[in-house]
């Protein structure tokens, strides 16, 4: 009888991450994995460590203990630009666009570091026609929704294998939130893995393969949307729904 095929490595893994801000321990032994093409939602109330975890995965914060692995290789000590070149893209809370540069200039910066793939500037402008109409506008002349489109488009132009989205719909009008969720579904349909931070339980549960809830820097739940729905007391306690 032939041996069973070895299971493929996860795309991204975190092992026992401890991250501190000064003396305050922000992450407490966090371990998780994300498979290629998988969408994982990261949820929890404000101040529970979600953004800290994403910034640690991206190399923007160094953990005091633990490792981050990409394709089975340790990337914990790498600079953020080196992690980006290996296939991760980050859309931070607050968007992080260059406000003094035009839409075209913001996109061209991403293009200089982009891997080969389907996401080119024309493809991004096809996805977000509003940006095509505002190519000469500076970042600070865009609405909040347009800034978020630019941030996501810039990340997509890197042709990532995994995109990390931190509160991508925060503060947007309902119609614009729906447009961002449509984009996230499109990303998922293209086989790009995603780690999505968002407070909208109704939307998250329709797109996520798995949901992780953080409380004070610790994972208190990890499972499918169906498993979470079966525990309404946990949703009420930790998500306020």
3-class SS string, 87-153: CEEEECCCCCCCCCCEHHHHHHHHHHCCCCCCCCHHHHHHHCHHHHCCCCCEHHHCCHHHHHHHHHH
Residue 55 lies in a domain: yes
Q: Flag whether 24 is in a domain.
A: yes
Domain of 64 in residue numbering reads as 8-86+193-241
Classify residue 69: in a domain, yes or no: yes
Cα distance between residue 145 and residue 137, in whole Å: 14
Give the largest CA-CA distance in the chain: 66
> Looking at residue 189, what is its pLDDT?
86
Q: What CATH number is given to the structural domain containing 16?
A: 3.40.50.300
pLDDT score of 7: 53
What is the rounded CA–CA span in Å between residue 66 and residue 110? Answer: 30
Do the Cβ atoms of 77 and 149 come closer than 8 Å? no
Model confidence over 188-236: pLDDT tens digits? 888 899 999 998 998 999 999 999 999 999 999 999 999 999 999 988 8
Check if the beta carbon of residue 97 is closer than 8 Å to that of residue 105.
no
Confidence of residue 125 (pLDDT cuts 50, 70, 90): very high
DSSP helix, strand, coil percent of the chain (3-state; round to 5): 35, 25, 40
What single-letter DSSP state applies at residue 7?
P
Total residue count of the chain as it appears in this document: 241
Token pair belonging to 41: 């939602």
Count how many domains the chain has.
1
Cα(180)–Cα(149) distance, rounded to whole angstroms?
7
Residue 108 within any structural domain of the chain: no
Judged against a pLDDT cut of 70, whether residue 2 lies above it is answered with: no
- Report how far residue 42's alpha carbon sits from residue 145's, in angstroms, rounded to the nearest whole number: 22
Q: Residue holding tokens 């339980």?
A: 201
Residues 132-187 have pLDDT tens digits of 999 999 999 999 899 999 999 999 999 999 999 999 898 888 988 998 999 999 98
* Domain annotation covers residue 231: yes
In a domain, 230, yes or no: yes
Look at residue 207 and give its three-state secondary structure: helix
CA distances from residue 99 to 102, 103, 126, 137, 164 in whole angstroms, order as listed:
8, 9, 22, 10, 21
Residue 209 lies in a domain: yes
Is the residue at 46 inside a domain?
yes
Dihedrals phi, psi of 65, to nearest 5 degrees: -140, 155
In whole angstroms, what is the distance from residue 222 CA to residue 199 CA?
A: 16
């Amino acid at each position: 009888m032939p041996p069973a095929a070895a299971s493929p490595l996860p795309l991204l893994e975190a092992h026992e991450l401890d991250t501190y801000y000064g003396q305050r321990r922000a992450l407490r032994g966090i371990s998780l994995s994300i498979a290629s093409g998988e969408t994982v939602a990261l949820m929890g109330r404000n101040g529970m460590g979600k953004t800290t975890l994403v910034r640690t995965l991206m190399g923007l914060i160094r953990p005091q203990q633990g490792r981050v692995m990409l394709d089975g290789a340790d990337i914990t000590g790498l600079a953020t630009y080196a992690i980006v070149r290996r296939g991760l893209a980050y859309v931070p809370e607050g968007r992080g666009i260059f406000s003094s540069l035009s839409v075209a200039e913001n996109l061209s910066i991403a293009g200089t570091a982009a891997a080969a793939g389907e996401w080119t500037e024309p493809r991004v402008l096809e996805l977000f026609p509003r940006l095509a109409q505002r190519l000469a506008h500076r970042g600070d002349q865009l609405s909040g929704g347009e800034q978020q489109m630019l941030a996501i488009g810039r990340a997509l132009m890197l042709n990532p294998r995994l995109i990390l989205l931190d509160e991508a719909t925060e503060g947007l009008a309902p119609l614009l939130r729906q447009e961002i969720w449509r984009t996230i579904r499109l990303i998922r349909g293209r086989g790009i893995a995603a780690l999505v931070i968002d407070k909208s339980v109704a939307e998250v549960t329709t797109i996520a393969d798995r949901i992780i809830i953080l409380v004070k820097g610790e994972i208190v739940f990890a499972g499918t949307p169906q498993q979470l729905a079966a525990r309404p007391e946990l949703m009420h306690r930790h998500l306020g729904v």
